[in-house]
Amino acid sequence: MTDSQPTVAFIGAGNMAGSIFGGLVANGYNAQRIIASDPKPDALAKLQASLNIRTTTDNREALAATDIVVLAVKPQVMKAVCCDLAPHLKPGTLVISIAAGISAASLHTWLGGNQDLALVRCMPNTPSLVQAGASGLFATPSVSDKQKQQAESIMAAVGSVCWVNNEEDIHAVTAVSGSGPAYFFLMIEAMTDAGVAQGLNKDTAARLALDTAYGAAKLAVNSDVDVVELRRRVTSPNGTTAEAIASFENNNYRVIVADAMQACADRSRQLAEQLAD
């Protein structure tokens, strides 16, 4: 909490934006250096009361005294919002977009086409809502090392951060972590249903599936060996786990996962093309 902290304006104050500035405040960021702009006064009032951040319903007002802008509006309205902001964007401002499917080229054009525009694209995921997210970031050439550090610090408030060198890799990030939580939710759902089919009541099956997913992830994160070795250690030859793994492999589990992630990445590219119009 020092005066050297840059002022950050969030354009859009939905769940994902809220998780980010909530994480910043929780990690000691000066709440008065965070501005949330949103057309919903009631939502802003709640944020101001709970976090003591600054709020406004005027995007242009939010830009007036800011060093960093986080674009957190829906992709469908991003063009209109950016075009409105463009004339009021101060030179040297770092712009971070957390909108899925909007390319850096589109954002650059909509924000006025300044060659020196410092722009970072970010693909966060929903566990950011509980400060357990995983975000992939891409920086355009105009982003300085200091600005990269600033962008990383902002997203690190809600989880882990990984940089990619090519914007094309954002589609792969979407397939792995952006959409990834849903894959695990589906697995938990399927395990719960299977447990019920084998005789457990639904509450018991759901609790066991949830706690197993949580425990496995926590063990993997904190282990000094990779997941291949962890799987080997729990898979005794000719044991119960070995039978389950063999069933997965015989039903092309890896191919199913790979095909699903490829479909996700392909759709990400399609959306980027559609939203560029």
Per-residue pLDDT of the chain (277 residues; tens, 9 = 90+): 345 789 999 999 999 999 998 999 999 999 999 999 999 998 899 888 999 999 999 999 999 879 899 999 999 999 999 999 999 998 889 999 999 889 999 999 999 988 889 999 999 999 999 999 999 999 999 999 999 999 999 999 999 999 999 999 999 999 999 999 999 999 999 999 999 999 999 999 999 999 999 999 999 999 999 999 999 999 999 999 999 999 999 999 999 999 999 999 999 999 888 888 6
How far is CA 207 from its chain centroid? 26
Biggest CA-to-CA distance, the chain = 68
How far is CA 150 from its chain centroid? 16
Show the 3-state SS of 58-90.
CHHHHHHCCCEEEECCCHHHHHHHHHHHHHHCC
Q: Which helix (H) or strand (E) holds 246?
A: helix 240-250
Rounded-to-integer distance, Cα 261 and Cα 249, Å: 17
pLDDT, residue 277, reads 67
Taking only the tens place, the pLDDT of each residue in 113-134 is 888 899 999 999 999 999 999 9
The answer to whether residues 170 and 139 touch, using CB atoms and an 8 Å cutoff, is no
> With left for phi above 0 and alpha for psi between -120 and 50, is residue 199 left, alpha or beta?
left
pTM as predicted: 0.90
Helix (H, G, I), strand (E, B) or coil at 121: strand
The answer to whether residues 107 and 82 touch, using CB atoms and an 8 Å cutoff, is yes
The contacts of residue 159 (CB under 8 Å, 6+ apart) are 124, 127, 128, 131, 132, 133, 134, 135
How far is CA 8 from its chain centroid? 18
HSE-CB for 160 with a 13 A CA cutoff? 6
How far is CA 101 from its chain centroid? 13
Structure-token match 């005066």, residue found:
3
The residue among 189, 179, 93, 177 whose CA lies nearest residue 135 is 177
The residue among 180, 71, 46, 203 whose CA lies nearest residue 126 is 180
Structure-token match 């997913």, residue found:
213
The two tokens of residue 248 are 């997965």
